Structure formats: C-alpha cells, structure tokens
Structure 1
Amino acid sequence: MTTHAIDEQASGHQFRGQAIRTLLILGASGDLTGRLLLPGLARLIRHGKAGEITLVGAGSDPWTAEDWQSRLATSFAAATPVSGAQDDGGALRRICAASTYHQVDVTAQGALAELLAGLEGPVAIYFALPPAVSEKACAALEPGDLPDGSRLVLEKPFGTDRESAARLNTILSRLVPEDHIHRVDHFLGKATVLNILGLRFANRLLEPVWNSLHVDSVDIIFDEKLTLENRARYYDGAGALKDMIQSHLLQVMALIAMNAPSTLHERDLRDHIGTVLRASSVHPDFSTSTRRARYSAGTIDGKAVPNYVDENGVDPSRGTETLAEIVVSINNERWAGVPFRLRSGKSLGRTRKEAVITFKPVNHLPEGFTGVDSPTRLRIGFGPDTLALD
C-alpha cells in the first residue's frame, strides 16, 4: 500500500465533485509552499493527475513576477520522481508560465474576496499560513465571495488551542459544506507513515503480537539537524510540542495503536484515531513524563549554529522549546502498561526519524546463548523510508 496524501491534497483533480480550475496558495512565499506544496504539485503534474488547473500564489512578501517564477522553478526542480510518472507533455512548463503571484493582506476585509473575484472557479484555497492568520482570513470572507464548488484546505496546526479550533470550524461551516473542507496533516503524506496500516492489517505476521502481551515500549522520534531556517514568525510562537508532537506524532501514534477499521474510508479511520486519542493521557507529574529544551550555539557537520535565542525574529522571553518529549499511556486493553515515547527536536547532531517498536524478551532462553542480550526491535523509518527488524 503506497499513498502520497499530500500530493493528492495539493491537486484539485483529486477533490470529489466538480473539477477544481484554480489552485490558490495563500502563504505562497513561505517555507511550507516551497518545500512541500509545490514539489507535491509537480509530482502530480508529472503523474498526469493535476488536470488543467491554474496556479495562483498570494503572500505578504512584495515579490515580483520574477521572484515567483524563480520559486516555481526551484521547487518544481526539487520534486523527487514518482514511480509510474509519465511525460507530462509540457504541462509543468505551461502551468509554471501561466502562474501569477499577488501581494495581499488576506486578513483585510475584502482583500481576499477581491482576489477570488478575478479567478476561474471552482477554486481550491490552500491556507499555507499560521493558524491565527488562517482564522482571520476565513473570518474576512462571506459565502458569496467563494465561487461555487470551491474547497478550503487548511494545514495543521488547526487553530492555536481547543477554543480557536472550534471557532475556526464554525467559521468554515458558514462558508462551505463540510465535505468541501480539507484538514491536512502533511506529515501523514509520507508513504511509510501510511504504510503502517498496510504493515499491520494486510499481513498475519505482526498483528497477533501487536499488543501489551508482547510489546514492551514504542518510541516515535523525529530528530533533525535543521535549525530554525528563518521560520521564527511561526515557530517561535509554537515550539516543538505544538509543531511536531501535537500536530504530527500523535497521529502516527494513533495509526500504530489503533484497532483495525472496517474500511479505509475517512470516517472509519477518523473514528478509530479518535478512539485512541481519547484513551491517551500523560502522567500529571510532568517532571517525569515530559522533557523540553532548546538548542544553543555550536556546530553541525562543520556549519556554525547560533544560539536559538539569537536567531532572527526570536523573542527570548517566550521560552520556546526546540526539543520536546512526552510519555503517553494508552488506557485500553490492547496497550495498558506500554509507554509510548514521542520526541522531536531541532538542531541535533544526529538525524533520527523513525518509530521503534521494542518487543518484550522471550519467556525462556535456553542456556548456552552468548553475545549481546538486546531486545527485538521493529524500526519503521520516516526519512528515508525504511523497515528493519533487529
């Protein structure tokens, strides 16, 4: 089972109902657009799945047409090949050449509506923006501002807290029907993350031992060498806990821990993920169940790294963490007593992106075995995509 969810979500061709004619990316000058959305779109085009869409970018930066074309060229060139890709017949070049960029304050009353009025509908609006900005942009819209059949696509984090997430849902439901709203976790677009479902439910080898009788612990780690990379405007207000653990790693944990759904339909998957999360808790003694830190000055691979608080745009008074770790208990029959450790950190000397399932030792080991006594571990790598049984 191989699925590229972020690629599919980036394309209007994949949406149910009337075909999307225009893909409007808000936050087009940001990191998310350059690193993920545009390369994902390029892969879809090469795969023949993008349809005849017009690509429009909008952002707060005063970019020229040449700046936007440079970003498109760089991001499209960075798209990794997809198996089964075909000759796009020049579609990638045509979409790039016809694409435009607009400097606009999407939170200003009427500004986004004016931009939408000049676009061919239906439009897929991809909010590659901080959650607070996305909420303000949606609040500035009226239902009549959107061409019929348009879709709203929002990145995680969805809101800044529970109250703002509920408020954003209310605003969105006023604009379009629920099945025209797409809430995207781009981390789940990693093929290996989604292949966890296939690994568990499409074979008979692992599922019988996928429980507390046989599993000692589960670690879900996303350590990276990347530093802040000019993302202070978003990251310094979020930190590692919100940016990675709350937004992405809890989803991975739920896929690893969930019971088998009856189908892979969105509702069944969502319900089973919700069941796992409702059964999850962190011990209230945070001194033993959590860790947080932030990187200081040093070097990584010979490159100088500044102290986090000295990075451009960082407010030291916020105390933002760049490493977070929590130990989660899933309080149900399958996982009672098994700790799930979730950790993510930036600017670390070693890149480590994997889920590790550590199995309990055998009940009896005959005398005579020699060597290192280490437990059996299943390693599921997120980048590069790997699978190994130690």
Structure 2
Amino acid sequence: MSAGIVVLGATGDLTARYILPGLARVVPSVPGGIRLVGVAHDDLDDDGFRALVRENVARHAPGDPDPAVAALVDDGVWLHGDVTDPAALQRALDACEITDADPLVLYLALPHVLFLPVVQALADVELPDGLRIVIEKPFGEDLAGAVALNAALADLLPEDQVFRVDHFLAKQTVLNLIGLRFANRVLEPLWSSTHVESVDIVFDETVDAQGRASYYDRSGALRDMVQNHLLQLLTYVAMEPPTSVAPADLAARKADVLRAVRPLDREGVARWTRRGRYTAGTVGAPDAPRDVAAYTSAPGVDPDRGTETYAEVTLHVDTWRWSGVPFRLRTGKALAADRREIVVRFREVPLQVFEGAAPTRNELRLQLDPDRMSLDLNVNGIGDPFALETVTLDTELAQQDPTPYGQLLLAVIDGDTRLSARAAEAEEGWRIVEPILEAWAADAAPLEEYPAGSDGPPRRAG
C-alpha cells in the first residue's frame, strides 16, 4: 500500500513543525511510501519545495536518515495555486498519482476561515472514493459555523472519511485512560460521584502569546484550548464504558458526555468561570528568568477586544455517575510553570480512625507532558506505626514513537477515526462554550489581570 498526502498550506508553521516531522516518522511504516504534494501561494518550484521539506524534517525530526524519508523528500511535488479554486484542487489530487485502492489524504493546514470555502470548492472536483479530509481545530468559530461546515462535509463525504483531528487524543496518557478505566477491575468501581470529589483538567503554559499574538487575539484561551482539547479530555475521563474500542462505540460515548454537560446561563458564568489576561512579568526559574511584556503590548493585539489569555471553567456532567462532581478545566499562558495534567481527587474516608491530622485525600494524577501517572496513598509511618504519612506511586510512561502527530497521520492513512472528533462532538463543544463567550462579551465575569510568571488571577476568597 502507498498513500498520497496533499497538504494545503504547505509552507505554514503547522506543516513545518508538526505535519512534515510526523510524516517523516511514519513513512517507513507505509510499505509503498508516501507521495507528498504541497499547495500554497508561495513562489516555489519542486526543487524549492523539496529543499523546504528537507530543512524542516532535519530541524524538527532529527535522526538517522531513512530511505523512505529520503524518497518522501525527493519525490515531493509543488503546486502554486488558490486552495479555494476547484481546478487547483483537482490538479493537486491528480498529482498524487496513486491507484484507486490506495488512500489519498487532503490535509487542510490552513486558517480556519478557509475550511468552508475549500470544502465548498471540492463539490466541483472529481474526488476519489478513498479520499480522507483532515481538518485542524478550531472547527468553526461558533455553533452556527460548525453546523454549516459539518453540513458541507456531509454533502461531500461519508462521516468516516472526515478527520477533525486533535493531537491531544494521540497523547500516550490520554490513550491510557481507556486502559486504566476499562481494563482494571480495581479502578473503574471507584470512578463515580460516590468516590470522586472533583476532577481538574489543566493545561498551564509558561510560553506567552507574543509569537502568535495577532492570531491569538482573535481566538483567546477558551476557543483555542477549552472548546476542543480540554473538552475532548473531559470525554475520556467521564464517558460510560463502551461496548468496544471500535471508532463508532468510542465516538458515541464521548458525544454522550458532551450532551450531558449542563449549559451555563449568565449567573452560572459569573459563578463558575474566570478569565484573565497577563501583564508584564518574569517567567522561568530564578537561574534562567525571562522577561515577558504585557499581552496588550504585543504586535497585532487590540486591547479593547478583551481577549483572555487565561480561562477557567467549572462544568457539571448531569449523569447518574457524575451528578454533583465539578470538572474544572483550566488553561493559561505566561504562567509560573508548565502544568499539563488530569487530577482525579477522591473523597475523604468515611471515618477517621487515626489520631491527629486527617488522612491526605487520594489523588490520581495523569501528566500529559512528559507522560506520567502517579497515585497518592496513605500508609503507616516509619517512626510511629500508628501515625500516617503519604507516599506516591509514580511511573513514567514510555516515550511515544511515533509522536502524537505521527500517530494522527498513521490513523488517517489507515482510515481509523478514533483520534478525531465526530460531527456531533464538534457541535456539542460549541453548545457548551458559546454561552460562556456571549456572557463574557457582556462582562458577566470580569477580565482579571495577572502578572506573567504568576499562577494566574488571584484566588477568590471562600
């Protein structure tokens, strides 16, 4: 089997940093190799495109050269054209020169405002039966946009040939949630409101928005991270046991979770959400500090737009299993530390039989980068056998090979949609987030400020 990959937006940052290195990792696993076709407005030819591919692969996926990777680079084809022009799209698909039996992937590595025009243009293109379309987030700017894009895709291809990819779903720790929950008798019986007090899903970053502020200012933390990545993590934590790990079964259980999330009205937004924007400060360890300018001073930022760089949302999943358990989703930029984890916090023991301080609550931590799992347990102390101390059972997971983007690309080539979101998931994500965005626009929750290098907006009293 060989495969054809057409990348629209082939000279962009996404292609350079993620798609091309991902392809370099997986092309040795494709027996017949991968035919790469790049499309963009840039004034290049085949040789110029191949040099660009070679440079980006060497920079972002270093290692010993592989003959398959060399073939990927040396056979690359460049097409200069408008990605919304049906004739240009037809030329790009034809340039792959693969058989009808082999997969052909059209990767939209483009600004999200071009997704719908490209899909509409494809209606006038002769599409091969095995075409797969890959769309990055954000999937629409709001619920109406997501519905329109889903409708256009449904007119074009069957749902199992559409890949709304989310590289978070390919992370080792996230995939291990399925194994932890559904292959261990000791854990799943505790996975409910009877034993779980709260769940935190956190993606804090020390990096600031300066390098991509002009894009970020039209998005913000809620759209950029919560609506897609963090809600997808929520589905894996809160889903009911599927009948199998087949794509349709997993997708159905994930969509059930999102449908069960209680929507927030204006009062709920004021109570259960926070938003913030960083001011000037210092980020990093004391021995390697980095001065960060205020977000509002970054090129391309309109301070009056009130874009948040920090978002915190507490959601409730109204199901029998999770009634009353708060799920706190939090993300922010220019924070004190990189903290990327899911924390399941268990309830206190029903009776305190030890004298002195109460036992520490058990916590299961699933760290996303690097991939680790840890569990806090209380044991008898070494000095006093009737006193308590807390120990942590900790394990580091094996490094992924290929990387998450490599896993995504291999899944697309294989036609496996499990690392993608289905249409219903994309729309339900906007159903949850859109009322928050509207309430924030009406100042239902204040835009708080926090110094770069801090832990975010100051904690509220009580």
- TM-score range for the pair, normalised by the shorter chain length: 0.7 to 0.9
1:257 counterpart (235, 238, 263): 238
Are residues 1:387 and 2:373 paired? yes
Look up the match of 1:374: 360
Look up the match of 2:281: 298
Q: Please give the per-residue CA displacement for 1:226-258, whole angstroms capped at 9, x wherever unaligned.
A: 222633454322211111111111111111011
Task: After TM superposition, give the deviation of residue 50 of structure 1 in Å.
Answer: 6.5
SS in 2 for 1:295: strand
Look up the match of 2:312: 325
Task: Kindly report which structure 2 residues correspond to 1:179-198, keeping only aligned pairs within 5 A, or say none.
Answer: 179-198=160-179
1:104 counterpart (59, 63, 81): 81
Task: After TM superposition, give the deviation of residue 67 of structure 1 in Å.
Answer: 6.7
Look up the match of 1:29: 11
Task: After TM superposition, give the deviation of residue 347 of structure 1 in Å.
Answer: 1.7
Instruction: Name the Cα RMSD after superposition.
Output: 2.5
**Structure 2 Cα separation of the partners of residues 60 and 312 of structure 1:** 24
Task: After TM superposition, give the deviation of residue 61 of structure 1 in Å.
Answer: 4.7
Q: Does the 8 A contact of 2:210 with 2:298 survive in 1?
A: no
SS in 1 for 2:203: strand
Task: After TM superposition, give the deviation of residue 194 of structure 1 in Å.
Answer: 1.2
Q: Please give the per-residue CA displacement for 1:124-168, whole angstroms capped at 9, x wherever unaligned.
A: 101122322111111122353434422211122222222222211
Amino acid corresponding to residue 248 of structure 1 in structure 2: H
Task: After TM superposition, give the deviation of residue 62 of structure 1 in Å.
Answer: 4.8
SS in 1 for 2:155: helix
**Structure 2 Cα separation of the partners of residues 108 and 235 of structure 1:** 28
Q: Does the 8 A contact of 2:279 with 2:294 survive in 1?
A: yes
Are residues 1:119 and 2:96 paired? yes
**Structure 1 Cα separation of the partners of residues 120 and 126 of structure 2:** 12
Amino acid corresponding to residue 378 of structure 1 in structure 2: L
The structure-2 alpha-carbon separation of the partners of 1:187 and 1:62, relative to structure 1 and needing over 3 Å to count, comes to farther
**Structure 1 Cα separation of the partners of residues 202 and 66 of structure 2:** 41
Q: Does the 8 A contact of 1:152 with 1:180 survive in 2?
A: yes
Look up the match of 1:139: 120
SS in 1 for 2:149: helix
Number of equivalent positions: 365
Are residues 1:347 and 2:334 paired? yes
Instruction: List gaps (5 residues or longer) in structure 2.
Output: 377-462
Task: Kindly report which structure 2 residues correspond to 1:1-390, keeping only aligned pairs within 5 A, or say none.
Answer: 21-46=3-28, 48-49=29-30, 51-62=32-43, 65-66=47-48, 69-75=51-57, 77-79=59-61, 90-108=67-85, 110-121=87-98, 123-228=104-209, 230-232=211-213, 234-284=215-265, 285=267, 286-301=269-284, 302-370=289-357, 373-390=359-376
Q: Does the 8 A contact of 2:53 with 2:73 survive in 1?
A: no
Q: Does the 8 A contact of 1:38 with 1:76 survive in 2?
A: no
Task: After TM superposition, give the deviation of residue 363 of structure 1 in Å.
Answer: 0.8
The structure-2 alpha-carbon separation of the partners of 1:282 and 1:219, relative to structure 1 and needing over 3 Å to count, comes to farther
Task: After TM superposition, give the deviation of residue 196 of structure 1 in Å.
Answer: 0.5
SS in 1 for 2:122: coil
Q: Percent identity?
A: 43
SS in 2 for 1:231: helix
Q: Does the 8 A contact of 1:297 with 1:306 survive in 2?
A: yes
Please report the TM-score for the alignment, with normalisation by the length of structure 1: 0.85
**Structure 1 Cα separation of the partners of residues 62 and 199 of structure 2:** 30
Q: Does the 8 A contact of 2:87 with 2:125 survive in 1?
A: no
Q: Does the 8 A contact of 1:294 with 1:321 survive in 2?
A: yes
Q: Please give the per-residue CA displacement for 1:58-84, whole angstroms capped at 9, x wherever unaligned.
A: 234556754763454334553489xxx
Please report the TM-score for the alignment, with normalisation by the length of structure 2: 0.73
Amino acid corresponding to residue 242 of structure 1 in structure 2: R
SS in 2 for 1:353: strand
**Structure 2 Cα separation of the partners of residues 295 and 103 of structure 1:** 40
Amino acid corresponding to residue 318 of structure 2 in structure 1: N
**Structure 1 Cα separation of the partners of residues 310 and 81 of structure 2:** 34
Q: Does the 8 A contact of 2:106 with 2:134 survive in 1?
A: yes
**Structure 2 Cα separation of the partners of residues 111 and 357 of structure 1:** 50
Higher relative contact order (CA 8 A, sep 6+): 2
**Structure 2 Cα separation of the partners of residues 166 and 276 of structure 1:** 19
Instruction: List gaps (5 residues or longer) in structure 1.
Output: 1-18, 82-86
Q: Please give the per-residue CA displacement for 1:197-244, whole angstroms capped at 9, x wherever unaligned.
A: 111111112111111111110000001122226334543222111111
**Structure 1 Cα separation of the partners of residues 49 and 297 of structure 2:** 28
Moved more, 317-326 or 49-58: 49-58
**Structure 2 Cα separation of the partners of residues 300 and 50 of structure 1:** 46
Q: Does the 8 A contact of 1:43 with 1:80 survive in 2?
A: no
Q: Please give the per-residue CA displacement for 1:244-274, whole angstroms capped at 9, x wherever unaligned.
A: 1111111111110111000111111111111
Amino acid corresponding to residue 348 of structure 1 in structure 2: L
Q: Does the 8 A contact of 1:309 with 1:315 survive in 2?
A: yes
The structure-2 alpha-carbon separation of the partners of 1:109 and 1:295, relative to structure 1 and needing over 3 Å to count, comes to farther
The structure-2 alpha-carbon separation of the partners of 1:379 and 1:61, relative to structure 1 and needing over 3 Å to count, comes to farther
